[in-house]
Amino acid sequence: MLKDVILDEPGKRVFLLGNEAIARGAIEAGIDVFSAYPGTPSSEITDTLNSACKHLRGRMEYRMEYAVNEKVAFEVAIGASLAGKRGMTAMKHVGLNVAADSLFSFAYVGARGGFVCVSADDPSMHSSQNEQDNRWYGIAAKVPVVEPSSVGEAKEMVKLAFDLSERFGLPFILRSYTRLSHSSGIVELGEIPEKRLKKVRWERHPDTDVVLPAHARRLKPILQKKLADLEDFFTSSDINWVDEADGKRGIIACGMSYNYAVEALENLGVEMPVLKLSSMNPLPRKLIADFLANLDEVLVVEEVDPVVELQVRAMAKELDVEVHGKMDGYLPENFEYNVSIVQKGIARLGGKSYDYAHLLETAKSMAEIAPPRPPVLCPGCPHTATFYAIRKVVNELGNASLPSDIGCYTLGINKPLEAVDITICMGASVGTSNGLSYVLDDAIIATIGDSTFFHTGIPPLVNAVYNGNRFVLVVLDNSTTGMTGHQPHPGVDARGCGEKGHAVRIEDVCRAIGVRFVEVVKSYNIRAMEDALRRALKHDGPAVIVSKQPCAILWNRERKAKGIRITPFEVGEGCMECMKCVREFTCPAIYIQDGRPVIDPALCAGCGVCAAVCPYRAIKPAR
């Protein structure tokens, strides 16, 4: 909880969410600048630092901002570091793809003030489009990666990463993952430093900070030397340790997998030596070699890819140690681990029996009892109305391509709307529309959220204007970053730390870059949206419709705060049970009872879109 994150009682033990612990670590480390774009499972780091900065103002000051995308956030933190200040950014794993260009070059330049990038991976893809393992980025970019195994260690490792970043002149990646970011645990509080965010004079270092080819060729060996020195440090660091035990079989457990391994050993009643690793890059090879030297077999436990296993296999050849893990099927290659999965692998290593199949069968039978609950757009969601209008116009056309983007509006893929055909990554709805426009006879109606428009939607729209590509882009403007927790973005007049911002209007941006068809339509006005779509489809070039209505959750919250009574709608006597409100529209507040549609007043947001959909005008405000 926030009150514990900002509590100034060193030594007190509190219960924090993993992401809150990371934020607390940043505060104790005395960060100067934090910049991020929200993305699950990293968002609470940003939101916690956003809330904390207001409470700490005057005691411990830092600059906090919501950036337009991850690359910008990364570069904001770079700027702070090069000025000698501590800079930090946080993002979900795919966000590092956006920031990768800056990551690779900054490794050569090196940190001056401490630099930490939190990358929150998402094993099992709970809220992501892929399951990438960002430890590869550390290896490829020659950037250190550390990985905590508990909530308490996460807080301490943030501080350590800042210290080591300054000591070795390297940017650091702290890898978290869903199960750590969203778990809670005991954290012992350290001291919150008293500091003001003081501006400093710029000191030029063009020989390191400007990565001209000649400079970069000289900087690469220096970077390699820094990593070699850091590897020596990691070999004796207390973030890596060995749980001693007898036997010729052992376990190398990485990050949070260490906890699974320890519990699995207890469940099986088996003792094996365990090497707990938190430094993922560079690996402490001497420590690993010493551990392997006493073993015949070792099991590597890690999520998501066999990053450590591959390297251990290369080392083990010289030591004649047999290595097990993902690559030989002792552990699954895909998805998130848990104690049972790891226990199965350890049981196989130890020659023990473990009826995992029975466990899965029991879990399956229990899952079948629970009713299926597919994710749906919220009651009163303005996207539902927009998608309904798009589907209606597409049905008139007979066919159309419907690229979309990353956000809660991806749920427009579901029946009966079926208004999403393609979703690749942030901004790709506009990018793929450019390509589709070259090869399709059918119309193209793309959708993108307002935050995503600013994130990566503008450059491909510029491309469309420049090349004269013909498609319709509907910007689903709900005045927030909805999916990750309602963070602000450049389109609203709020900034981080509760400061007032200068809103950038999407329609102004579109007109400024040369889009000649730009219209703003209220999302709940289905007829206006249909008319705008039909006109936009006739436009020879890119056409933009901004579908504007606040997110229903925020809209409800605002009305309740003002004391405005929300009047629900109800299905009246005139209902002919045609079921159009269910079959063609969709709203979680509408359900079927005794063969008739009924509206749940507790869920109804009072938007009235269902009343506009009903052909018999049987849906009206409740009396």
Q: 69 to each of 120, 398, 473, how far by Cα in Å?
A: 15, 37, 20
| Sequence-separated contacts (24+) of 136-142 with Cβ below 8 Å | 136/305, 136/307, 137/96, 137/100, 137/103, 137/173, 138/173, 138/280, 138/281, 139/281, 139/307, 140/104, 141/100, 141/103, 141/104, 141/107, 142/107, 142/223, 142/224, 142/227
390 neighbors 536 (Cβ within 8 angstroms): no
For 404, the 3-state DSSP assignment is: coil
Give the C-alpha separation, 338 to 69, whole Å.
32
What distance, in Å, lies between the first and last C-alpha atoms of the chain? Answer: 42
Give the C-alpha separation, 156 to 402, whole Å.
46
Return the exposure string of 334-368: e unless at least 16 CB atoms fall within 10 Å of the residue's CB, then b. eebbeebbbbbbbbbbbeeebeeeeeeeeeeeeee
Show the beta-strand stretches assigned E in 131-248: 145-146, 172-177, 184-188, 241-243
410 neighbors 423 (Cβ within 8 angstroms): yes
Residue at 75: amino acid letter: E
Copy the structure tokens of residue 198: 């003081």
Sheet containing 172-177: which strands, arranged edge to edge? 63-66, 33-36, 87-92, 115-121, 172-177, 145-146, 279-281
Q: Mention every residue, 6+ apart, whose C-beta is less than 8 A from residue 348.
A: 324, 330, 354
Q: What single string gives the DSSP state of each residue in 297-364? A: EEEEE-SSS-HHHHHHHHHHHHHT-EEESTTTTSS-SSS---HHHHHHHHHHHHT----HHHHHHHHH
| Residue 195: burial class (beta carbons within 10 Å; 0-12, 13-18, 19+) | middle
497 known ligand binder = no
User: Is cis: bond before 459, omega within 30 of 0?
Assistant: no
For 610, the 3-state DSSP assignment is: helix
User: Is cis: bond before 416, omega within 30 of 0?
Assistant: yes
610 known ligand binder = yes
β-pairing, 13-17 vs 184-188, is: antiparallel
581 known ligand binder = yes
The residue to which tokens 């900065």 are assigned: 53
Dihedral sign for Cα 120, 125, 129, 134, please: positive
Give the C-alpha separation, 605 to 478, whole Å.
15
Give the C-alpha separation, 136 to 144, whole Å.
11
Copy the structure tokens of residue 178: 């869903």
Return the exposure string of 400-424: e unless at least 16 CB atoms fall within 10 Å of the residue's CB, then b. bbbbbbbbbbbbbbbeebebbbbbe
| Inter-axis angle of helices 307-319 and 285-292, nearest 10 | 50
607 known ligand binder = yes
**Beta pairing partners, 115:** 87
381 known ligand binder = no
296 neighbors 321 (Cβ within 8 angstroms): yes
Task: Give the residue ranges of the annotated binding site.
Answer: 575, 578, 581, 587, 604, 607, 610, 614
Task: Give the residue ranges of the annotated binding site for [4Fe-4S] cluster.
Answer: 575, 578, 581, 587, 604, 607, 610, 614
